[in-house]
Structure 1
Amino acid sequence: MEQTAESPLRQMVRQTIADLKPFPLRFAVAWRIAAICAIVAGVAMMYGIPESAISCYLVIFLMKPDGTENTIVPVAAAFLISIVVFLLLAVVLLTISSPLLRILAMALFSFVFLYIGAATKLGEAGGVVALIFAFMLTLLDMVPEGTFVSEGLRFAWEMAVMPLVVMALFSLLFGPSTLRVLKVAMAERLAAARQALEGDREKLEELLQEGNEDALKRATFVRLFHLAPKAAAAQIAVDVHASYKLLLAAGALPEDVPEEARATLLADIRAAENALAAGLPMTAPASLRPNAGHAELGARDALMLMSSARQPRFIPAPQEPFVAPDALTNPAYQQFALKITLAAIGCYILYDAISWQGIHTAMITCYVAALGTTGETVHKLALRISGCLVGAAMGFFAILYIMPHMDEVWQLMALMFGATLVAGWVSTANERLAYAGVQIGLAFFLCVLQGFSPTTSLDSGWDRIVGILVGNVAVYLVSTLIRPAPLAGTVRQNMAKALAGMARLASIAPEQRNLHVAQAAVVETLVGRIRYQLFLLPFEPRHLQLSAQQKINFSEMTAQVSILNREIYLSQDDLSALSARLSRLSQSVGVAGSGSECVPGQAPAAGEDDLHAPASMRLRLGRMEELGASGGLSGEMNGALAAGGGR
Structure 2
Amino acid sequence: MKQLHSFLVFSDLWPFDLKDRAFKALVLSSVVGLTIVFSKHLSLPETALSAYLVLFAVRPGAFETIGIAIALIFAALFAVGFLTLAIMATSGQPALRIPLMFVTAFGCFCLASGSSEGAVFTTAGMIIFEVLSGLDVIPFPDLVLRGMFWLIAVVMLPMSLLIVSQLILGRLPLSFVRNELGLRQKVLDARDAGDPSSKRVLRSFFLTSPRGLTKPLQQVRNSGFLLSSFPQWEALSDGTARNLALSLQNVLPHPIEMPVGGKTPRVNVRRTNDEKTPFSPDIRFALAATLAVGISYIVFLLLKWPEIHTITITTFLISISTKHETYYKAGLRMAGFFAGALITISTLLWVIPEIENASQLGLVCSVVLFPAAWIALSNEVVSYVGLQIALVFLLTVVNSPGPEIDLTIAWGRFCGILLGTLIVTVVFQTFLADRPEVRIGKQLSTLRRRNAARTFDQRGDGEEMLELIDQVAALRRLIFIARKDPTQTPSSKIALDSLWINTNRLFVEIVNRTRPLNQKAQNVPPNSRGRAS
Give TM-score scaled by structure 1 length.
Answer: 0.70
Q: Which of 60, 63, 66 is equivalent to 2:58?
A: 63
Q: Does 1:18 align with 2:19?
A: no
- Matched position secondary structure for 1:25: helix
Matched, 1:452 2:401: yes
In structure 2, distance between residues paired with 1:399 and 1:254: 48
In the alignment, residue 528 of structure 1 is paired with which amino acid? A
Query: For residues 207 and 401 of structure 1, do their structure 2 counterparts lie closer, same or farther at Cα, with a shift above 3 Å needed?
Result: closer
Give the root-mean-square deviation of aligned CA atoms: 3.2
Classify 1:218/1:24 alpha carbon distance in 2 versus 1 (closer, same or farther; 3 Å): farther
1:541 is paired with a residue of what secondary structure? Answer: coil
Task: Confirm or deny that 1:342 pairs with 2:291.
Answer: yes
Q: CA deviation at 1:218?
A: 5.7
TM-superposed deviation, 1:179: 4.8
1:111-510 → structure 2 map (5 Å cutoff): 111-143=106-138, 145-175=140-170, 179-197=174-192, 198=194, 200=199, 201-203=202-204, 205-206=206-207, 209-216=210-217, 219=220, 224=223, 235-236=229-230, 239=233, 242=236, 246-252=240-246, 331-505=280-454, 508=455
Report the counterpart of residue 101 of structure 1 in structure 2. Answer: 96
Shift of 1:523: 3.3
Corresponding residue SS for 2:416: helix
Q: Residue 508 of structure 2 aligns with which residue?
A: 563
**Alignment CA distance shift 1:12-1:569 (3 Å):** closer
The one-letter amino acid paired with 1:342 is L
- Residues in 1 aligned to 2:451 and 2:471: alpha-carbon distance in whole angstroms: 11
Q: Which amino acid aligns with 2:484?
A: F
Distance 1:233 1:193, change over 3 A: closer
Aligned to 1:52: 47
SS at match of 1:455: coil
Distance of aligned partners of 1:516 and 1:232 in 2 relative to their CA distance in 1, 3 Å threshold? closer
Matches within 5 A, 1:558-637: 558-570=503-515, 572-575=521-524, 614=526, 616-618=527-529, 620=531
Alignment partners' CA distance in 1, 2:83 and 2:145: 13
Aligned residues: 495
Structure 1: gaps (5+ residues): 1-7, 225-229, 257-327, 576-612, 625-647
Residue in structure 2 matched with residue 85 of structure 1 by the alignment = 80
Structure 1 partner of 2:259: none
Q: Which moved more, 1:79-88 or 1:168-177?
A: 168-177
Structure with more relative contact order (C-alpha pairs < 8 Å, separation 6 or more) = 2
Contact 1:208 1:521 in 2 (8 A): no
The verdict on how the C-alpha distance between 1:441 and 1:81 changes in structure 2, with shifts beyond 3 A counting, is same
Between the aligned partners of 1:66 and 1:116, the Cα distance in structure 2 is 24
Kindly indicate whether the alpha-carbon contact (under 8 Å) linking 1:344 and 1:367 is maintained by their aligned counterparts in 2. Answer: yes
Amino acid at match of 1:563: V
Report the alpha carbon displacement of residue 215 of structure 1 after superposing the two structures with TM: 3.9
What SS class does the counterpart of residue 45 from structure 1 fall into? helix
Who is 2:273 aligned against?
none
**For the pair shown, which has the larger CA radius of gyration, 1 or 2?**
1
CA displacement, residues 539-595 of structure 1 (integer Å, 9 cap, x when unaligned):
3233436566444422221111001012223395434xxxxxxxxxxxxxxxxxxxx
Counting aligned pairs with the same residue, the percent is 20
Pick closer, same or farther for the CA change 1:454–1:533 going to 2, 3 Å: same
Q: Deviation at 1:214?
A: 4.7
C-alpha distance after superposition, 1:171-226 (max 9, x if no partner): 34444565544433222110122344556342563489433225425635xx63xx
What stretches of structure 2 of length at least 5 have no aligned partner? Answer: 251-276
Task: Report the Cα distance in structure 2 between the residues aligned to 1:148 and 1:470, rounded to whole angstroms.
Answer: 30
1:540-559 aligned at under 5 Å gives the runs 540-544=485-489, 546=491, 549-559=494-504
Partner residue of 1:34? Answer: 29
The normalised TM-score by structure 2 is 0.83
Distance (whole Å) between structure 1 residues aligned to residue 361 and residue 278 of structure 2: 51
Conserved in 2, the CA contact under 8 Å of 1:249 and 1:570?
Answer: no
Separation of aligned partners in 2, 1:123 and 1:71: 16
The residue that corresponds to 2:271 in the other structure is none
